[in-house]
Amino acid sequence: GYQVNDKNLGMLGKITEVYIMPGQEMLAMAWKEKEVLIPVNEHILLKADHKKKILQVDLPEGLLDLYMDDQEEE
52, burial (CB in 10 Å: exposed 0-12, middle 13-18, buried 19+): exposed
Contacts of 43 (CB under 8 A, 6+ apart): 58
SS3 content of the chain, % helix, strand, coil (to 5): 15, 55, 30
pTM: 0.84
Q: Please write the tens of the pLDDT for every residue from 28-73.
A: 999 988 999 999 999 999 999 999 999 999 999 999 998 886 544 4
**47 three-state secondary structure:** strand
Q: DSSP character for 74?
A: -
pLDDT for 2 equals 96
